[in-house]
Each structure stands twice: as C-alpha cells, then as structure tokens.
Structure 1
Amino acid sequence: MKQKVSIIGSGFSSLAAACYLAKANYEVTVYEKNICIGGRAQQLTKGGFTFDMGPTWYWMPDVFERFFADFNTSPDQFYQLTKLNPAYSVYFGENDYISIEDSLEKIYETFESVEKGSSKKLQKFIKKAEDNYNIAIKDLVYKPGVSPLELVTLPTIKRLTQFVSTIKSDVRKEFKNERLVQILEFPVLFLGAKPADTPSFYNFMNYADFGLGTWHPKNGMHSVIKGIEKLALELGVTIQLNASAEKIIVENNTVKGLQINGTTIATDIIVSGADYHHTETLLDKKFRQYSEKYWEKRTFAPSSLLFYVGFDKKIENVDHHTLFFDVDFDTHAKDIYDTPKWPDTPLFYASFPSKTDSNISPENKEAGIFLIPIAPGLEDTKEMRTLYFEKIITRLEYLTNQKLKNSIIFKESFCVNDFKEAYNSYKGNAYGLANTLLQTAFLRPKLKSKKVSNLFFTGQLTVPGPGVPPALISGKLVSELVIQNPKS
C-alpha cells in the first residue's frame, strides 16, 4: 500500500517535491490555500493584460533542464523559451544607461567602452565566477544542509578566502567605474543580501547573469509553474485548491494528519512548502523547532512593493527588464537591512514583458511590472503605496523622456500586507532568508523536523535559499530525505 504524502502549498519547491515523490511511488496530494497554483508565482490577468505577480527573471536554465531530465523530459516539452537581447538595461541618469547584451563577447565590449582595460579584468572575473558556478550549482546546492562537512570538499578548501572576503570588496578592487560596479553587484540582490555582506564565492551569480543569459518563457513565468503542474498530474499527483492547512496533527511525536478547511485528513508524511515560520505555528508549541526569538534574529531578504500597470500605448526607451539605479544604492540598502524604514529615494526595477511577448498585452499597449525592494515588516498603507508609485512613475518619465501618467489604464499593487495574507509570509517577506555566510547550507532552518517524525520543509526559508532555481532544488532535496527516512 502506498504511503500518503500531504504537501502544503503549490509553489516551485512544493510542486517539484510532489513530482519526485510521485515518481518514487508515494500517493501525493498538494493542498493550496489560494484559488490557483503557483505560490508567489501566481499570475494576474486584467483587461487583456497578463502579469507575473512574483518571479519575472528566468535565470540558470541548466537547473530547469536538470529538473526535467530527472523525469526523462525537457523544458521545451512544457513551455517555450526566448533568450533576451538585451538581457536587461540599467539606468543611471537621464538618457544614461548601459545595456547588457546576450553574449560574453558583447558584454566585454560594453565594459571596455565604459572603462578602458576593464574587458580583460572582466574575463578573469567571469572565469572565476564560472568555476564557482560549476562547484556551487552543479554540486554544493544539491546537498541537504544536514552537516557542515557537506561544504568541505577539495574545491571549497582551495577557495576558503572567498568565504571571508566579499563581493563588494572583490568588485571594487578590479573595477573603478561606479556604473560597472553596480552592474556587477546587482545579481547578489537575488540572494537577498548586500554585496558587502555576501561572500566572494557567490560571484557565481555573475556567471549566471553574463554567462548563461536571461530568458523569457512564453506567456510569463507562470507558464513554468503550469508546465510543472502538468508533469505532476501526469505522475499521478492530486492538487486541491482553496484548501487551507489549519493544523498539523501529531501523535507520539509522529505526523498523523493534516487539518484542511476544518476536516482532518489522515496522512503518513507532511512536506510543507508554505512559509516555514507559519508552518510551525500549525504545530502545538512543544513540537516547534524554532522560537519567535530565532526568527526575529534572522536576516531576511527584502519584501517588495509591486505595481502591475496597464498602459494604453507602447513605452519607449525601456527594455523587457530595466533597472533604475539613478539613486544611491548604499542608502537604499541601509533602509532595507540596517535601519529598516521606507526609503526616501528607492532604486526600482521594471519589467515590460510585452516588449518580448505579444500575448502579454493587447496590441499597441504595454504591460508594466514595477518592484521596489523594501524591508520586511514595514507599515503598509494605501497612502504609502500611492506615494511611492508617484515617485517611481515620475522618475521613469524623466529618465526615459516621455509622458506616461495619462496613459495608465489601471494599476494594481501588492505589498507587505498582501504577502502576509496570500502566502502567510513572515513579516511579509518576499524572498525568504538572505544567503549570508551565517545563513548558508547547514546554518539554515532544516529540511527535516528534529521534533516530529515524518514532517519535512521545503522552499525559500530552508535549503538552499531564495530564488526559483533553488526552489526546484529544494524540492528535490526534501524528496530525497523523505525517501531515505527510515521512519517514513
């Protein structure tokens, strides 16, 4: 008789775990509290426009390929990809921007045109980043974070100094132009920490950026979720929507059931891809591994203020992904990590997927997604959202020399309160725990409960960390622990 696995949540990590466990002959049911699958990777449709509400960047295509290869298939059987050129552009002032194109050779030329001699330095920098990528993404991140010995390999021993130096010091040692520096420091934001607090070893993100490129799945990132859902269903997974997990039933320190919408469902194993902190509140206090004080002391990646905007015309002088670094990077970072508050002059990011994908907006119109990174736990009010939209749309008009405010058909917003409501997110965080040195691998919350047998966790608050590719990996790691678990 098959063992029953109940999975809480339907984000990337949950669906990945569901696929692996179904393949291993478990009876798998996914319970999603919302009306559609995807967790943070939900989609908003309105007036003929389509918006990814969460992740918009498709990086590390090799991780997706490796996931689907585990099921003897490939991404192109489930969704279509386009490599973006330019991958993205970065604005530093009015009509002052740098575009990152779709090959290393073009990027080297761009750097050389900005700072003489920088192309050769960049080649060495990227070679080191590629070596680190091959160690980290092809090996280390596929370890379950059970023991510090997982990190002790010959390649990592040779790179010990890269765990005490930082991205910021490395980049600024080689490159003097502030614009190039900020472009090289930018990928670290995906890890949820400041460049000054991120070990040098994490420069593998620069290879992910420049070496592997930026891609767009047709119809948006939600199409990737739909692809994994299709795979899960083919493997026999059952998915239930509007199914809110209310309590984890434990007897003799072992999982016995899961209360869904007031009904207790017997189960042998629970895997939670929901917010880790929230999941533990579903347990009686004596079964929780981590105290409120523990969570309070963690360094969280940012939350976000997001806007989804339909424009009645095409927007000029922007690319599919456009970053606005025309204000001080360090000041905004301090407002997120050091003394949390609403930033006076925020950096922001804008995505215009309709530049690439005609399915995203009606003809001759533009879909715009805007993101301001902010500290988790800030007071979130309608007035604050209105104020900040005015700040960024005014800057967008100025930096790109066009009028846009009168071309807005509608705008929707999503912020701290929504992250809490939709995802039970601790303090309304958007990305999980930052990947600092003291929150890496075995120092992150565990995939397997130490107090309750047959209770497991997956996703951005556990191993290996924030981001879509790590979420897929997290789903694989937790499934392997379930399969290996002698009590399961």
Structure 2
Amino acid sequence: MPNDMSNTPAESDTENVGNSVSSAIVIGAGLGGLSAAMRLGAKGYRVTVLDRLDLPGGRGSSITRGGHRFDLGPTIVTVPQELRSLWKVCGRDFDKDVDLREINPFYEIRWPDGSKFTVTGSTEEMRAEVARLSPGDVAGYDKFLKDSEKRYWFGFENLGRRSMHELWELIKVLPTFGMLRADKSVVAHARSRVRDPRLQMALSFHPLFIGGDPMNVTSMYILVSYLEKEYGVHYAMGGVAAIAKAMANVVEDQGGSVRLGTEVDEILVENGRAAGVRMADGEVLKADLVVSNSDPGFTYDHLLRNHRRKRWTTQKLKKSRWSMGLFVWYFGTKGTRSMWKDVPQHTILSGPRYEGLLNDIFIKGKLADDMSLYVHRPSLIDPSCAPEGDDTFYALSPVPHLGHDNGVNWAEMAQSYRQKVLENLEEHLLPGLGEHLTEEVIFTPETFRSRYLSPLGAGFSVEPRIFQSAWFRPHNVSEEVEGLYLVGAGTHPGAGVPGVISTALVMDTLVPPAPRPMPAS
C-alpha cells in the first residue's frame, strides 16, 4: 500500500479534507465504501476514507496467524464485470491490479445420507446432476432456470442499478413483482419446481449468503442460480482482501487518502446538510458530502444520534428484521495439503434438518445442536494463504443474531460450539482434523458487533425480506440529511459482493460531479 495510508491524525483539531467545493468523506473502508470513494474520485472529488480497522476491506479484510491468512468475509466473486466496470470508470484495468481465477466446479453440496450435488457452470452437466439425484425433476429444473433468468434481468440488471428512494419507483414495478410472484418465498418457489427435498435445498439456500431466511425471503433471489451459471464463480488470488487493497490504491492514486485505525464518532450536520465528521478523539473533518459505509442501523442510531430523524428512528430500527448471526471458525492444519483429496475449495455440508434449522435460527432464535456448514479451503488454489504443505480453512455456521429474547451467551458457548463444529467436520468431511490443527481464530455474533459495529451482531445487516427491499430498504441517498449517502450491505440493492459494489453505482447516479476540477496529484 502507498505510504500515505496511515492512522496518523491531522495536526489541527479541524481539517478541511479537500478544497471547499469538492471534498468528500467516506466512513468505512469496506467494499461499498471503497467503491464509492473510487467513483467519487473519478468525478473529481478529493476523497478521505476513514476506517477503524488496520486493513482496508471491512468484512472483506483478513487476519494472518502463523503463516495462515484467514480471509474473514466473502470468499468468492460473482459477476466480475461489476468490478471491471468500476475500474474502467476510474480509467484503470481491473485485471492488471487483481489476479482473478475462475473456479469450476463452483461448489459441492453434501447431505447426511452420503449423497452429493456438484454445481458447475455447464447447463448440461447440471441437468445430468439433477437426473442422477432425481430423474423426474429435470423438467422442473429447466423451468427453475428460466424463472431464475427472468428474475436476474429484472431484479439485478434493472432494480439493482437504479435508486429506489422515491415511492413512485416502487409503484412502477409492482405489476412486474406480481407477475414474477415476488410474494412467494425462495423455498416455496423451489418446491413448486422440484420434488426431491435435496434439490429443493440446493436451489433455495443461496439467500443465506446475503443474510436472508430462504423460508421468508422473496423468490426474486432465485436470480442467483442464473447469475452463477452465466458469469461463473471466481476467486481473487490473495483473497477478497487483495481486491480491497487494490481499491485503496486506486483511491490514493486519484489523490484521495485512506486513514486506517481511526474511528468516526458522529456525522456533523449544519443547516440540515452533512458538513463533515467528528472523530472519536475529537478531531473534526469538514467536507461537502459524506458517504457512510457503516451499517445503516449504526449510521442512523449512533452517527446521527444528535440529529432528529423522520424515518429511520430508533423505534423503527428496533422493529426491523435483521439477518442471522454467524459463527465462523478459521483454522490452519499442518501437513494436510495432500490429504482429503475429495474435499474441494467450496463445500456445503447440509445438516439433517433444513427448514427446521432455518426456523430455529431466524424465528425461534435457538442455537440448535445440529448445524449446516459452509467450508472454504482456499489453499487448494492460493498457496499464499498457508505455509507450504499446509492448509487454511474457514467453516461458517449460520446462528441466531443477538436480538432474540433467549440470546446466546457466546462467552460461555463459543468453545463448546467450536467442538461441535469440529466433530461435524471430522465425521462428514475432514477425518482426523483435530490431530492436524495449528492456528485458529473464532468469530461469533459478538465479534461482528464489536469489530464491525453490526446491530445485534447480524452478519449481513437488514434481512432482505420483500418489505425490507428496494424502496423499503435504507436508501442510498439519505432522506434525513442532505448531502449524506449510504452504501453497503444494508442499503439498496443489498448484500453480497455484486450487491455491495452496486450500492456505490446507485449512489453515483445521485451525486453531481465535483463543482470544479481537482488539481493533479
């Protein structure tokens, strides 16, 4: 990273981060905030990005222990043209800055009965996989793919690329929502197309990767099946953290700055307009516009705590439904690179219950004894993440967030739950795992609350139910404060790497170019 990316505070208590007509502050160096900073820089703004962590990337950053690099958040990239378009706006070539590798097969799903389902980018291979599990479901699978494609073009390429902050924008698309049966859940739609319970799970679990309950999230999200097939699944060498570092480099090449290890305490408002920020140490930074990549709940309830809010009040935020929490066990293993040869880079271990487990996680708030796991093994493709001959893993289990009445005490439960995850992995995927463990890190919903300031420790902010999507979701342009914009998983169009990158694209359509050209850096 360039040398000016630092946590050194300004010399004075009050600093104007740019000239008086073209400065912008971005709170948070997650992928949404960095995307916003790049787009603002391309428009002529001098941008300052502020983040409390020691590396850029937010949830897409990493931790290194004993030679193992643990990628903390997203592990795959889909719709890579979103990143290439972002770089092009900035006059850069994404593929010169980031080494992106296509993965095929995409991932493997394993069930307790020993059956497997391998997901690839080939329609014919996928039809053969469906036929192998349930020959009578091939025709239904074909219909599901057509359904998925329709929802992709409407939900991602249409709604996902324009602001939904005006009610009229919602009213205009209601007939299409009705025609596409957006009122049905993802699970209900999968049931209507295939009969085999395993295939119903395989075609409906994707909302979990953006924090949604497949039993209740709108069927618009079946678009992911088409998105994966059409554009593939990719891995960035060096992890998503490498993308974040490349983004920060672009911001600084544009004349902006990225200040790490520094925390914003409040968004300053003057005459109803965002005027800058006050840092936790009392330093004041002035700017002409502010973009928040913090969770909308934290932005409105904390960063704007001294400003009267009309829509996103504390009470409204308390009534919102938040995504589930995450238990993530990052671990390294010694001398295992040539072991477990049937274990791919991405594996879904489905538990003995699907719908019952979802109900425990999202509705009852119960930490169940059984679990489903997503297991990532990046060392198969990226030797840089582990010592030679060793492996780096991450096992993720969806769990309840911290807001349920019977909330989990993770200080007491973390180690016992980690033991259950270990036993599950040894039985179903990685026999003998315990004998090879070296480094490890555990994240619980408590970690998400303290590290990312995530309300209720939710893994993906506001849950993407139908009445918490599009116009109902926190808008990219704030209705509370003029000159304040929001990006990231909790805003429109939503979570996931393509969604988060798109929040900055939507914001970009709302922000005017800088009033006058910036001098050359």
**TM-score, reference length from structure 1:** 0.94
Taking the aligned partners of 2:292 and 2:101, their CA distance within structure 1 comes to 33
More deviation, 53-62/90-99: 90-99
Taking the aligned partners of 2:144 and 2:479, their CA distance within structure 1 comes to 41
**Contact 2:111 2:350 (8 Å CA) reproduced:** yes
> Match of 2:382?
357
Q: Does 1:194 align with 2:216?
A: no
> Match of 1:212?
231
Counterpart mapping for 1:89-488 below 5 A:
89-93=108-112, 95-151=114-170, 157=176, 160-260=179-279, 261-280=281-300, 281-289=302-310, 290-312=312-334, 313-314=336-337, 315-316=339-340, 317-377=342-402, 378-400=407-429, 402-483=431-512
Taking the aligned partners of 1:128 and 1:484, their CA distance within structure 2 comes to 39
Counterpart mapping for 1:71-86 below 5 A:
71-86=90-105
**Contact 2:298 2:454 (8 Å CA) reproduced:** yes
1:361, CA displacement in angstroms? 1.2
Which amino acid is 1:274 matched to?
S
Cα deviation per residue 1:347-386 (whole Å; 9 max; x = unaligned)? 1111011112122211221111011111211434343111
Q: RMSD between aligned alpha carbons?
A: 2.2
DSSP-derived class of the 1:464 partner: coil
Q: Where does the alignment leave 5 or more consecutive residues of structure 1 unmatched? A: none
> Match of 2:85?
66
**Contact 1:140 1:151 (8 Å CA) reproduced:** no
1:155, CA displacement in angstroms? 10
Cα deviation per residue 1:218-258 (whole Å; 9 max; x = unaligned)? 11111111222222222222111111101222222222331
Taking the aligned partners of 2:173 and 2:26, their CA distance within structure 1 comes to 37
1:401, CA displacement in angstroms? 6.5
Taking the aligned partners of 2:85 and 2:70, their CA distance within structure 1 comes to 27
Which amino acid is 2:363 matched to?
D
> Match of 2:13?
none
More deviation, 352-361/376-385: 376-385
Which amino acid is 2:182 matched to?
F
Which amino acid is 2:226 matched to?
Y
Matched residues, number? 486
Taking the aligned partners of 1:105 and 1:212, their CA distance within structure 2 comes to 16
1:335, CA displacement in angstroms? 1.8
Cα deviation per residue 1:173-215 (whole Å; 9 max; x = unaligned)? 2211111111101212234222231222322111123333221
Compared CA separation, residues 241 and 286, structure 1 to 2 (3 A)? closer
Which amino acid is 2:294 matched to?
A
Report percent identity of matched pairs: 24
After TM superposition, what 4+ stretches of structure 1 lie above 4 angstroms from structure 2? 151-156
Cα deviation per residue 1:314-354 (whole Å; 9 max; x = unaligned)? 34132111111032011221122111121221211110111
DSSP-derived class of the 2:203 partner: helix
**Contact 1:311 1:410 (8 Å CA) reproduced:** yes
Taking the aligned partners of 1:254 and 1:152, their CA distance within structure 2 comes to 29
1:73, CA displacement in angstroms? 3.8
Compared CA separation, residues 416 and 155, structure 1 to 2 (3 A)? closer
From 37, 61, 78, the equivalent of 1:42 is: 61
**Contact 1:95 1:400 (8 Å CA) reproduced:** no
